[in-house]
Structure 1
Amino acid sequence: MNINITPALRDPIYRTLAKVGGIDTEEIRYPLRSYKCIGHLFARTLKDREREIEDIGTQSLVSLPIAQKAPKRCV
C-alpha cells in the first residue's frame, strides 16, 4: 500500500502491523516513524549482519531471496 501515513500515526500503526505480521522490529535499520507508507515498511532494509547467510560450501544448492522494491513514492 502506497498511502502516506501521517507521522503521528506511524508508530502505532506499524507496531500493530509488526505484531500481527511477526515482524521483528529490532532488526529494522531505521525507526518505524521514518517509513512514509506501509509499502516502505514491508520493503525495509535490515541492520547490517542481521541475517547472515551461512557458508554451506560449493556443492550445495542455494536459493537466493527475491529482492523487493519499495514503492518510489507514497500518495
Structure 2
Amino acid sequence: MFCLNCAKQIGDITKNRICPYCGYEQYKLEDVQAGIEYAKRKSKENRNRGFSEKEILALGLYPKDEAYKMSLISRILGKR
C-alpha cells in the first residue's frame, strides 16, 4: 500500500495506520465508504426539518429537480 499523502510505499495498514515517513493517518476504503453512507443518512434526516411539505414547496426548499417537485405536489394534493 502507498501513503495517501507522500505516496511512499508503507505496506499493510492493519497494524499501523500512521505513515512512518510523513505521519499522515491512513484510512481503509471500507471506513471511508461507511462514513459517506452515515453522512448521507444524517443529511437526509436533518434536511428540511421543521418545515411542512407545503412550506417546502412554497419556499422552494426542495432540490432543483422537476421529478422531486412533482412528487411533492402530488403528495400535497393527495392528502385529505
- The structure having more radius of gyration, on CA atoms, is 2
Shared fold by TM > 0.5?
Answer: no
Considering Cα pairs closer than 8 Å and 6+ residues apart, tell me whether 1 or 2 has the greater RCO. 1
The TM-score with structure 1 as length reference comes to: 0.23
Q: Higher helix proportion, which one?
A: 2
